[in-house]
Structure 1
Amino acid sequence: MIRTIRAKFILGFFVIFTVFFLILNQWVTRNIEAGNRSTISDSLIDLKKNSNNYIRQSFLTHHFTSDEIYFEQIAEDMGTDLQHTVSDGVGMYSLAGELLYTSDKSIFKAGGDDLTAAMQGKTAYTIAMINGEVSILYAYPVVVNGTKVGIIRFAKDFTPLYEQSRAMKRTIFFIALAVFTAAFLFSYILSRHVTVPLVKLMQASNEVKDGNLHVRIAFKRKDEIGSLATNFSSMIEKLREQFLTIEKDRDRLEELINHRKRFFDNVTHELKTPLTTIMGYSEIILMNGAKDPVIFQKGMGHIMDESKRLHDMVLRLLEMSKASEGANNFERIDAACILRDVSESMAIKAKRYKKTIHCKASHDLFVYGQSDRLRQLFINLLDNAIKYSSAYSEIVVEAHLDAQAVKIMVTNEGETISPDNLKKIFEPYYRAGSVVNEEASAGLGLSISKSIVDEHQGLIRITSNNGQTSVQIELSFMEAERK
């Protein structure tokens, strides 16, 4: 397509300049011819005036009347004198066209259209071009005192005039040809200057169409084509960024699907295990429980533990399903009071794992929220801290007011979480590191915690380095109501 545009471009310029060249050449030819004829006419008019003046003086000098006989008698003398005066060939004729005198018989022996016109009382001339030479035969009737007495015929050479005209035409022709050639070359270069970048743009667009988004076009031009190339490159860059974003989202989606699959696999296994234990001990108790109190107590203990474990797992799943629901029944509550209460109750579980909880919470840390959701938040954070902290370590819980924000921090000592895991730690079903305890983690605690903080329009972040992990929460402070 671009080659066709280039061909049309060049063909159009060629046709335009060719037509212009032909018109110019024709116009110059006509104007030069018109100028030559005007020059010839002026020259012949002057020649006629001079010769008429001489003849009148000749008639007046000899005191002859104006008759035809006298003209025939002095024709030779007048012809000789005129030939020397005008330096041109001269022929003297009677009114009937009879040759009376001639300075060159080879020129005047034959008649012509000019002589015929003169015999009819008209002034006329004919142009003869032989072997590049141009001569004029000019004839007119001689009138003395209103009477025609004879005919004078001149032969005048205008070859230099026509040679000058031909030289002028050749000069104009070559100048026009040079201008035409220069304009055509400029048009060709201009067409390449325009179409070559378009060809590259077309090739680049074909590569993009085939999936190559790394193609780049760089034209060091400040015109419209340069702007087009820059916009094209910017468009490709944005497309590449969009595709990279799509690929990342696709990878994240695949990863999320894998997490969900692992989660459901784990949940299936975790639900199956306590159910199997419950069913097994139930059968043992039914068979031997009444006869053996030890087996009865042991079986009931396992059934209670597994039932509690199953109950906690179901509650976590329900919490996860409610995480996307909007906040309802918000009220002014004391977050510090709830935190101290949860820390006290979770200290019992921590003691079972040979760990301690130390709570340092200021008083009257009021926030706008739901007490049960904040309690669930603090339970999840402390539960995670207990699971992931080292044995015989202390879990520090702090809460204080800082610049109209209630800041809560839960810090524990344990395995450092890698930066890659920190980026994904709030994702549902994601579990960082490994935990060995009596309760397996389903990877929902931190995801639920983040959803609770988001409901309260707060901020939550986790840092982990040098074997110490800290969860930091910020909630908007609500001043106490005045009485």
Structure 2
Amino acid sequence: MLRTIKGKFIIGFLLIFSLSFLVLNQTVKKIIWSSNEEIVTSDLVELKKNSIVYVNQAFLINHYKSNELYFGDMADEMADNLHRSTGSDVSVYNVNGALLSSSNKKVFSGKSDDDLKQAIKGKTAYHISNDRNKAEVFFSYPVVVDGTKVGILRFSKDFNLLYKQSGEILDIVFYIALAIFVAAFLFSYILSRHITIPLVKLTEATSQVKKGKLDVDIHFRRKDEIGQLAINFNDMINRIREQISTIERDRDRLKELNEQEKRFFDNMTHELKTPLTSIQGYAEIIKEKGESDQKFFDKGMNHIVEESRRLHNLVIKLLEVSRETSKDLQFDRIDAGEILKDVCESMKFRAERYKKRISCDIEEGLYVHGQVNRLRQLFINLLDNAIKYSLSHSEIIIKAGIVGEKVLFTFKNPSAPFENNQYSEIFQPFYSVNQKIKEEGSVGLGLSIVKTIVDEHGGTIKMFYKENHTVIHIEIAYAKVEK
């Protein structure tokens, strides 16, 4: 008896679902095809409006009257312009349907011309030629200028994507309905095995745990011993997962701390290198010139003293700095333009060593919220890169000004483009575009530090190649005077 009832239930379920499955698919198919026709009609109406505007403007511009002769004279031009502007193939006919010009005769030859016949009668018409993978619409309408019919325009428009997507939607609906059928069938089968399935699931779950897979949960709406066993099992698995998750978090945190420590010392090493480079440059020039140029000697010695002090401060900072994020840094309202001018002036001698020159165009009053030393390091790193990697005997252009509510800094130098357009990866730590030209002793942190400093100041940075120049744009919010 039980077997007969179960059989009848399954057979009845199969019949009901099969009928529902067929009705659903046919209904969805009808709705989709109807929607496609509405989309096609809407596109063709817009196409007709645009082409009518074009024809009227052409007649008006050329001072043509509304007759067939001038329409024929314009046929080639119309076919070409409408093809380029609409992206559809276009044919131009006289009022009797004789072909005057076509952007692609092969497209229109050998196809049904029912739409053209209707246009000859003065009607607007189209027909759709489609199968599962291809859809093409032929659309014709009579051209009327100042109330006079002067010719016929016929378009061939590709709707392959629309009908392809419709086919994909139908496939998705089919497979979803099939999946629902399978799920419902399995559910009915499970109901017939109400007593044994919980034990089977518990056995499978314990087997998964034995293999080390802890992403299992057992849920039974039962209040007997099996239900309580499932609750205890879930509690046990949850506690094991929590312990493992805690261990994994601690492991990841330890790894992150180690990486942060390494990045910290790498960055500080790079920061220490910057003032040393400047000191070395001035010292070498002073050694060459001696005291023959007293003004330059005094300036160079002052710069060496300043950079030495900054180097000393960096060393002290290295000994005392905490590993907190930049959010704890104290920002002041400072004139970034003055800092950039000073950096440009100090780096001009380094540029001269490479037979290059620096051109600066910096507006006054470029105030931002930030740190003097960090912004100075930012500008030095960018100028240093521009000097090293620009073409020989070239000019490095530095501009800064207010754009909207931002201060825009532009660094532009002539150079060869990067291979494979690598501008998006250039700010990653340790990344080098070309290992052959990478500076000796560099660890690839220069532009990574630049990106970090810009982020600290809430700004944005991007690099791109334009007109044989590598260009870097930096935007930082302008700091208005607080009232």
Query: Which of the five TM-score ranges fits, normalised by the shorter chain?
Result: 0.3 to 0.5
Larger CA Rg, structure 1 vs 2:
1
- Between the two structures, name the one with larger relative contact order (CA 8 Å, sep ≥ 6): 1
Question: TM-score, structure 1 length as denominator?
Answer: 0.39
